[in-house]
A and B are shown apart, each in its own frame.
Chain A
Amino acid sequence: MDKLVEIVAKSLMLPAEKITEELKYNSIPEWDSVAHMALVTELEDAYGIMLETDDIVGMSSVAKIREILSKYDAAA
């Protein structure tokens, strides 16, 4: 399975099938600010990075997260 999809699914406590590239922050109850910070922690652990505040704010969709991660040389 795609590593990013796996991490998002785990953090939002959703089945992987529900995680699409278009899925947006705050568009479903499972992806609220609390889940968002859990997701940040999971991403940081998985990729060994520390996300910048602007990027945490900018992680508005799964596709956007993928784009942001590429900046950190973290292949998503």
Chain B
Amino acid sequence: MMLRPDALEGRIALVTGAGRGIGLATAKMLAEAGATVWLNARTVGSLEQTCAEIGNGARAVYFDVTDPAAVREGFVTIQKECKKLDILVNNAGILRDAVIEMASVELMDDIWRTNLRGVLLCAQYGARLMARAGGGSIVNVASYIGRFGNTGQAVYGASKAGVIGATLSLAKELAARQIRVNAVAPGVIDTDMIADLPADKREKLLGSIGMGRPGTAEDVAKLITFLASDMAGYVTGQVVGVDGGLVI
């Protein structure tokens, strides 16, 4: 806990992909700081228990970020129920490695639709709701890979570099409406996303982290919560690493 429990009181937040990992940790932390959080997942019904545990009015909104009509419905629900949105965390994402020779068009489309187009669609509707509330904060979850690259991650890295590009332009476009847009670039974070790594790859990856340990979902959630809050009230268009000194 780093912010006062009332730091985000009265704020309405939406976190995409909030069922587990970084998204779940972020939803919890935003709620701890006083925000009313909408948690998003794809499977209807999957978040009811989690929302009850988080409390502070936390609610679930189910949509797949790759489905434009469903994304719109989700934001219509929030507009109807809350009349505004103050914080949007674009966290939903997928990771699939493939050396370039083996990257199928399906894999490219899946990754880009989820990691990049999903972010743009949510930002599009999110910004509209935020403009009504007189401003807000969008935090996009990019990746170390989108800035510095890695073998086997040309497709994933391109999607995350795209998220960074979108962040920079959105920050400029939305500044006049008092909407801040920033990105976080996590390094190696201990979530389901990296659970399937083969042992040798995992060892090598851990060896490249200066601080000698993988990050936790909470490590990332803290930075996101900071950027979402008024503590970062004059910060926009930034990409902030949270990687414990990772060098790949």
Q: CB-CB contacts of B119-157 with A at 8 A, as 1s and 0s?
A: 000001000100110000000000000000000000000
- Asked if residues A50 and B132 are in contact (CB atoms below 8 Å), the reply is no
Q: CB-CB contacts of A11-53 with B at 8 A, as 1s and 0s?
A: 0000000000000000000000010010011000000001011
Q: CB-CB contacts of B41-70 with A at 8 A, as 1s and 0s?
A: 000000000000000000000000000100
* Neighbouring B residues of A37 by C-beta, 8 Å: 128, 131
Q: What's the Cα separation between A72 and B81 when bound, in Å?
A: 19
Give min CB distance, B63 to chain A, whole Å.
Answer: 14
Please name the residue on chain A nearest to B132 by beta carbon. Answer: A41
Which among A34, A40, A41, A52 is the interface contact of B72 at CB below 8 angstroms? Answer: A52
Q: What's the Cα separation between A50 and B76 when bound, in Å?
A: 7
Q: What's the Cα separation between A61 and B128 when bound, in Å?
A: 21
Interchain pairs with CB closer than 8 A, number: 16
Which among A41, A50, A53 is the interface contact of B131 at CB below 8 angstroms? Answer: A41
Please name the residue on chain A nearest to B78 by beta carbon. Answer: A50
Please name the residue on chain B nearest to A53 by beta carbon. Answer: B124
* Residues 158 to 191 of chain B near chain A (Cβ within 8 Å): 176
**Which secondary structure dominates where chain A touches chain B?**
helix
Q: What's the Cα separation between A34 and B173 when bound, in Å?
A: 10
* Neighbouring B residues of A52 by C-beta, 8 Å: 72
Give the bracket for the number of chain B residues in contact with chain A.
Answer: 10 to 19
Which among B75, B79, B128 is the interface contact of A40 at CB below 8 angstroms? Answer: B128
Q: What's the Cα separation between A1 and B171 when bound, in Å?
A: 39
Please name the residue on chain B nearest to A56 by beta carbon. Answer: B128
- Asked if residues B124 and A50 are in contact (CB atoms below 8 Å), the reply is no
Give min CB distance, A28 to chain B, whole Å.
Answer: 20
Q: What's the Cα separation between A40 and B68 when bound, in Å?
A: 19
Q: What's the Cα separation between A40 and B76 when bound, in Å?
A: 14
Give min CB distance, A12 to chain B, whole Å.
Answer: 17
Q: What's the Cα separation between A37 and B124 when bound, in Å?
A: 12
* Neighbouring A residues of B132 by C-beta, 8 Å: 41
Give min CB distance, B166 to chain A, whole Å.
Answer: 16
Would you give 16 A-B contacts (Cβ < 8 Å), ordered by A?
A34-B176, A37-B128, A37-B131, A40-B128, A41-B128, A41-B131, A41-B132, A50-B72, A50-B75, A50-B76, A50-B79, A50-B128, A52-B72, A53-B68, A53-B72, A53-B124
A37-B131, A50-B72, A50-B79 known; 10 new pairs, CB 8 Å cut-off, are A34-B176, A37-B128, A41-B128, A41-B131, A41-B132, A50-B75, A52-B72, A53-B68, A53-B72, A53-B124
Task: Give 4 nearest A-B pairs by CB, closest first.
Answer: A50-B76, A50-B79, A41-B132, A53-B124
